[in-house]
Structure 1
Amino acid sequence: MKAIVSAAAPVDVHFHDLDPMNIVWHGNYAKYFELGRAALFTKIGYGYAAMKNSGFAWPVIDMHIRYYRPLELAQRAEVVAGVVEWENRLKIDYLIRDPESGRKITRGHTVHVALDIATKEMQWETPPVLREKLSPWLA
């Protein structure tokens, strides 16, 4: 599915990200996805402070990761995050790639639902604030 809007963020692999095999521990890829997601939300003007001020949180309710190649110490990579669904849930696709060669390292997606912060109630439809933030890319 084609992204409505996307953003990229750099990934730097540090020593503390490695497992005993000297490659990035699989659980750290969720952290790298978060870098892309934060860049994406910043791009649309809905960073975490704005999100909190809007009265809604967007917790992850599902995540899928497919690994193609390992990341290694001091390797530079790029994570691209893009909104592919937004009307009833928010689905973000991710691609971690080598920025020089373009080689695919990891793909995945996360699914989020809007949660009213005050009531802790899940919303079954995207709140107007996200529609407004995405409107420049929906036209």
Structure 2
Amino acid sequence: MIYKRKVQFYETDAQGVVHHSNYPRYFEEARGCYLEKIGYPYERVREDLNTDIVLIELQINYKKPLYFGDDFEIKFGISDMDKFFFSFEYTVLKNSSTIATGKTKHACLNRNTGKIISIPDILRSKLNGT
């Protein structure tokens, strides 16, 4: 999947470079877009499945900077999934040049107990594209 975006001024530091703390936000925006496209936005996961999706690991490798006004895209998708956990891998690109790469790992929690649960079958099916 591809998520496209433009760097906003408030995301930059005094030199006009995107602050490193924005990349996790970009990844989260991309995931939110993905969940909407598969028909299970966060609200539906929470309400229909009584489940929260939580981030348990985050890795980012910074290669080049982005600047205010840059258009960029994030190519990403599911890289791993088992009964309890699933991961996304990301490549941030500007004009086909790799800006950063990353990976996030997630788990599902029961909203009532706060305990890790297996990925709900319907969500697993949607994440797998089936």
Question: Do both share a fold (TM > 0.5)?
Answer: yes
Give the alignment's TM-score, normalised by structure 1: 0.85
Give the conservation status (yes or no) of the 8 Å contact 1:8–1:39.
Answer: no
Misfit runs of 4+, over 2 Å:
none
Aligned length: 128
Bigger proportion of residues as strand: 2
What is the distance in 1 between the residues matched to 2:12 and 2:58? Answer: 21
Q: 2:10 — aligned with what?
A: 16
Give the alignment's TM-score, normalised by structure 2: 0.90
What is the distance in 2 between the residues matched to 1:69 and 1:15? Answer: 18
Q: 1:78 — aligned with what?
A: 73
Q: CA deviation at 1:134?
A: 3.1
Q: CA deviation at 1:39?
A: 1.7
Match of residue 22, structure 2, among 20, 25, 28 = 28
What is the distance in 2 between the residues matched to 1:73 and 1:119? Answer: 43
Q: 2:91 — aligned with what?
A: 95
Give the conservation status (yes or no) of the 8 Å contact 2:78–2:127.
Answer: no
What is the distance in 2 between the residues matched to 1:21 and 1:74? Answer: 13
Q: CA deviation at 1:127?
A: 2.1
Give the conservation status (yes or no) of the 8 Å contact 1:91–1:112.
Answer: yes
Identity %: 27
Q: 2:121 — aligned with what?
A: 128
Structure 2: runs of 5+ lacking an equivalent:
none
